[in-house]
Structure 1
Amino acid sequence: MQGLKDKVAIVSGGSTLIGAAVARAFVAQGTRVVVADIDQEGGRALAAELGEAARFVTTDVADDAAIEACVDDTLKAFGRIDFLVNVAALYADQGPLSPRADWEKAFAVNLFGAAMFLNACRPHMAPGSAVVNFGSTSASVAQAGRWTYPASKAAVLQLTRSAALDLAGAGIRVNAVSPGWTWSGILDQISGGDRDRVERVARPFHMLGRIGDPAEVADAVLFLCSGHARFITGTNLAVDGGYTALGPEQALSPITELLS
């Protein structure tokens, strides 16, 4: 893709399955990457896999000092910041039973972390730089038993629009991606590693009849950072296999049933 070679990207949550896919995709295009995550073992392993083009910085996005330290480390190591990808997320959600502490944790990571990382990077980003926030299909639909995560992701999408407007004059584009069900750490965890089971459950909710792969989300992220997306800002790109467009009738045909 155009405009990625010899650039520098920070990927928060870079040790996750999706974050790691984004990091790998950047490196494959000649971008140097800082993997920012609280998972030290996973982050160091990924940086070692990617070689000299990547480094790992232990970063808790709920800690402003840690974010500033990551930005400083990036500048010392690579001398610039061109792209910020806010993947880091917290899924703690007990729906209507969620205590205040869960709300505060969800927003501290999912929303405040993205906003503070952007604020820390912004002074060092030149015209042509780009930010990609991670929204979610959960941000635009009702899902039983889920309150804190969808609410925080809806706020991320509004942050994306507001930041895109205020940073346009500086030549910084800000967009979001909203994955549908994608093979990720949380799905791996709750399914016991049974991807086939996840596929069976998710199939009716996606026009394409399957869940997404981390690499497919990474492709969308890189497109939004690349020169091919130079006239795109303030938008939310659904990378969801048709999940958002599929209404409650799914692939059924109730009108046909009424006519029969």
Structure 2
Amino acid sequence: MEQDFSVNLQGKVAIVTGASQGLGADIALALCGAGAWVLMVGLGQEQGQATLARLNAVGRAHFLHADIRDDAQLDACVQLALEQTGRIDILVNNACSYGDQGLASSRALWHETLDVNLVSSAILAQKASAYMGQGGVIINMGSTGGKFGVAGRALYPASKAAILQLTKSLAVELAPAGIRVLTVSPAWTWSPATQSMAAGSRERADQVGAQVHPLGRVGSGQEVAQAVLFAVSGAASWMTGVDLPVDGGFSVLGPDQGRSPRHWFEAWAQRHAG
């Protein structure tokens, strides 16, 4: 999918965490292509430099190798943006840890996951918003995983559910300053995690994804990035505190997967025929 750079973010400054690869890189590229100066923050030095080259081909960007669990490094991130540009307009809290052993997860793993997925997002929002003026926007990346129960996982869904609530609270608190806060929640996307499970086959990922996404496939990082572009643009100026589901229809399906009781009874009868 080609990037649509029709949104004009000229003169804006954006910080994107977890931007070395995957969805974070796609979001950073979209913002940069729309004219924003982008500070990419990530742990993957080699991947980050490769992504930085892609961004510099369409606009202006800088890569900072940093651990968002460290407040001093978050301060350095904010200060770098201010030193380079004198302002901060957009923050995308995208960095995420996927470590999850469900009910068997240790206390240490709980703390680590929540620190990356929730607490660090809140602290960076606190630090960055202090320098945002009217029109500032914070995007917290959520997930359909934070909206439904699932066996075998606990940490990731809990952290994403908390992100939805954090967005609501920050939206109310920051509204008097003219700062909007939104969540963008993807379902399955063609990301490094999905690529691994699908053994690198997009066709396989789409075939499996079609079972739980009415649009019949997994999404792309570029499609999610386009939703982020909309959310930070003037077209969304009357939106705050809400979630934008970019999920191929995943969230409209209930436990019956969008099918009538008749379908399930007929399917049961077919399995037990003879």
Q: Give me the TM-score of the superposition, normalised by structure 1.
A: 0.95
Higher relative contact order (CA 8 A, sep 6+): 1
Residue of structure 2 in register with 1:10 after alignment: 15
Distance 1:257 1:75, change over 3 A: closer
Q: 2:249 is matched with which residue? A: 242
Q: 2:69 aligned with 1:62, yes or no?
A: yes
**Separation of aligned partners in 1, 2:181 and 2:264:** 45
Asked whether the 8 Å contact 1:11–1:19 carries over to 2, the reply is yes
Query: Which residue number in structure 1 is paired with residue 46 of structure 2?
Result: 41
Counterpart selection for 1:30 from 35, 43, 52: 35
Asked whether the equivalents of residues 31 and 53 of structure 1 are also in contact (C-alpha less than 8 Å), the reply is yes
Q: Compute the RMSD of aligned alpha carbons.
A: 1.7
Q: Which residue of 2 aligns with 1:144?
A: 151
SS in 1 for 2:250: coil
Structure 1 residues without counterparts, runs of 5 or longer? none
* Residue 252 to residue 168, structure 1, CA distance change in 2 (3 Å): same
53-62 or 2-11, which deviates more? 2-11
Task: Sort the Cα spacing of 1:124 and 1:195 in 2 relative to 1 into closer, same or farther, 3 A.
Answer: same
Residue 103 of structure 1, CA deviation = 0.5
Shift of 1:196: 2.2
Structure 1 residue 64, shift from structure 2 partner? 1.0
Q: CA deviation at 1:48?
A: 2.1
Structure 1 residues 187-206: aligned runs within 5 Å: 187-206=194-213
Q: How many residues align?
A: 260
Alpha-carbon contact 1:128-1:172 (below 8 Å) kept: yes
Question: What does residue range 155-174 of structure 1 map to in structure 2 within 5 Å?
Answer: 155-174=162-181
Please name the residue that 2:272 is paired with: none
Deviations along 1:151-205, whole A, 9 cap, x unmatched? Answer: 0111111000000000000000000011000111221233332222222222110
Residue type at the aligned position of 1:58:
H
Q: Percent identity?
A: 45
Residue 256 of structure 1 and its aligned partner are, at CA, apart by: 5.7
Pair 1:20 & 2:31 matched: no
The unaligned stretches of length 5 or more in structure 2 are 1-5, 270-274
CA distance in 2 between counterparts of 1:248 and 1:41 reads 42
Write the distance in 2 (CA, Å) between the matches of 1:258 and 1:190.
31
